[in-house]
Amino acid sequence: MSQKLPHRTEVPTAETWDLSDLYADSAAYEKAIHALYQDAQSFKAQYEGQLNQLDTIKKGLEAFSQILIELDRAGNYAELLLSVDTTDAERQRLSALFSTNYGKIISQLSFVESELLSLDKETMNVAINELPYGYYLKQLQKRQPHQLHAKAEEALASMAPAFSSASEIYGITKMLDIDFGSFEVNGQQYDMDYTTFEGYYEDHEDTDLRRKSFRHFSDTIKKYEHTTAAVYNAQVQREKLEADLRGYDSVIEYLLEEQDVTLEMYHRQIDTIMSDLAPIMRKYAKIIQRTNQLDELRFEDLKISVDPTYEPEITIEESKKYIFGALDVLGADYVKMLNQAYDDRWIDFPQNKGKQTGAYCASPYASHSYIFISWTGKMTEAFVLAHELGHAGHFTFAQAHQNYLQSEASMYFVEAPSTMNEMLMLNYLFKNSHNPRFKRWAIGSILARTYYHNMVTHLLEAAYQREVYQRVDKGESLNAPALNEIKLDVIKSFWGDVVTYTPGAELTWMRQPHYYMGLYSYTYSAGLTIGTIMAQRIKNEGQPAVDDWLTALKAGGSVSPTKIAKIAGIDITTDQPLKETIQYIGQLVDELEALTNEIEATTDSEK
């Protein structure tokens, strides 16, 4: 059937999130934005030139944190409001209001870090040891060689809206300007937009529908490849300029610093997966081709189910059985958070026109997490929801135990709690069903959604992104043909000759907002590595492993990602966790093949 989405005003309110815990209404948000600038000015007048004694530093950082918490509240409200209906002019205006004022507000605060970095070594060390901001100050101290003059830092801060414009232009082009219209399959017209393609057509069991939708989607976005390339090139060239301005050896080194991981860890994650996981996923691809009885496996077939005739349907209410069943092992406080997420409308479920694609969890320190998802009714949505609730659980625990400046873990770790929940979901499904088809579906789902999405899709993004930055470091400027070439080469190097590369595969780079978020893409596989090992620990060791995990979640951003992983009993300074994770994926693919053999043998004997 044609997937024509309802307007936002037509979806059930009970299935939408409630933003009143951030602001009572949009008028209150607008008032807060204007008050924030005044608060920032007052803060600057009170503390500028005063952050040189321990007592003043402590009070200053407390006041600084409070302004940042309120700024975070406003930013999240603007983004959450817009993301569910990007077509609405009033939501666009409210989002633009934040963007317009952000630079003005943050420029009033830039003196804080400049003054802290001008402290003598002894005073800084005392602050690190005696104030509850030790890790924040240590990370700040590492940036000292790259810090600019205070006035230069203030000027850069004031230009923040201009620096984020590439991301905004990309989003506007993607969600507002591109009109996909409709396409025809066997005499029937099908409406399309980004949401329906990625949520319905892309993995549809009907091969003709799936392939024609991919062709129509690709033909449409190709019309925008030069604009999108120019916008992306503007982003990476801006990052290169700042990296050079601050004296970093490369853009990658500049972007990695805030994650507190080494270049070796970054490159290892990409290189090991490209070499060791590729053969396993090629075997998986052949199973997909076999079970779907395809003469050839095209690029647009890679996301289909291993068993297209077996996809359990699930309602939002029914999802609770699986979510609570899988995650109650994490304890009473975690279950309390799950109940709040459902009962207090932390989650936005509907599919509607203008809603952005994908899923995410926003966690403003001032209130609680908000989960963005587009519920399709497929059982696999339970995995997606478990993933996002993993982020919510992480930030709920971290924010309850850490101050604002030390509440957010390194990007390297941040996907571990979410992907670990997906593994707990798989363990729960295995434990509660012995039906071979259901077990095969469960393995197929975890391979297609969890491992394919996080350790293949996002990892190939990372490999592509690394090549882009390496070219930028050499002084190259990138256009659409160059980006198409890089992306296709990366895809081919992973999948080899098991896949037919349909025109449009090379345009995959156009679809991801991650490229405007620093070195985010590779961290999915890093997080999943930690999550996989942790889920196995919980399965095999029980409560001691759970206790370690909850302690790790509570650590937030108070220690480095390597130390957080160590709290969880995992050593990510070596390649062993990644090698073990890849081995585990290999075992899942082997079991998938064995179940397929068993099911086909049973089917043949019944004929």
Compute how many other C-beta atoms are within 10 angstroms of the C-beta atom of residue 317. 8
Residue 378 DSSP symbol: B
Compute CA distances 484 → 273, 487, 506, whole Å.
22, 5, 5
Confidence at residue 604, expressed as pLDDT on a 0 to 100 scale: 67
Residue 416 to residue 403: CA distance in whole angstroms: 21
* Interval 495-529: pLDDT, tens: 999 999 999 999 999 998 889 999 999 999 999 99
Confidence at residue 39, expressed as pLDDT on a 0 to 100 scale: 97
CB-count exposure of residue 222 (10 Å: 0-12, 13-18, 19+): middle
* Interval 491-503: pLDDT, tens: 999 999 999 999 9
pLDDT at 279 over 70: yes
* Interval 163-189: pLDDT, tens: 888 988 998 888 888 999 999 999 999
Confidence at residue 288, expressed as pLDDT on a 0 to 100 scale: 95
* Interval 23-64: pLDDT, tens: 999 999 999 999 999 999 999 999 999 999 999 999 999 999
* Interval 443-496: pLDDT, tens: 998 898 889 888 899 999 999 999 999 999 999 999 999 999 999 999 999 999
pLDDT at 356 over 90: no
Compute how many other C-beta atoms are within 10 angstroms of the C-beta atom of residue 600. 12
Strand 370-372 to 347-348 pairing:
parallel
Give SS3 for 495: helix
Tell me which H or E stretch contains 372.
strand 370-372
Residue 509 to residue 532: CA distance in whole angstroms: 27
* Interval 542-577: pLDDT, tens: 999 999 999 999 999 999 999 999 999 999 999 999
- In 451-542, alpha helices (H): 452, 458-473, 480-495, 521-541
Confidence at residue 147, expressed as pLDDT on a 0 to 100 scale: 87
Q: Which residue has the tokens 């390339």?
A: 229
* Interval 131-143: pLDDT, tens: 999 999 999 999 8
Over the chain, what is the mean pLDDT? 94
Establish how many alpha carbons lie within 13 A of residue 194's alpha carbon, considering only the half-sphere containing its beta carbon.
Answer: 21
Confidence at residue 607, expressed as pLDDT on a 0 to 100 scale: 58
Angle (CA) 480-485-486 rounded to 5° is 100
Confidence at residue 1, expressed as pLDDT on a 0 to 100 scale: 43
Compute CA distances 379 → 288, 316, 382, 442, whole Å.
19, 10, 6, 10
| pTM greater than 0.75 | yes
Give residue 603's pLDDT band: very low, low, confident or very high (50, 70, 90): confident
Q: Cβ neighbours of residue 498 under 8 Å, at least 6 residues apart?
A: 282, 285, 286, 289, 297
Q: What is the mean pLDDT of residues 289-312?
A: 92
Give SS3 for 23: coil
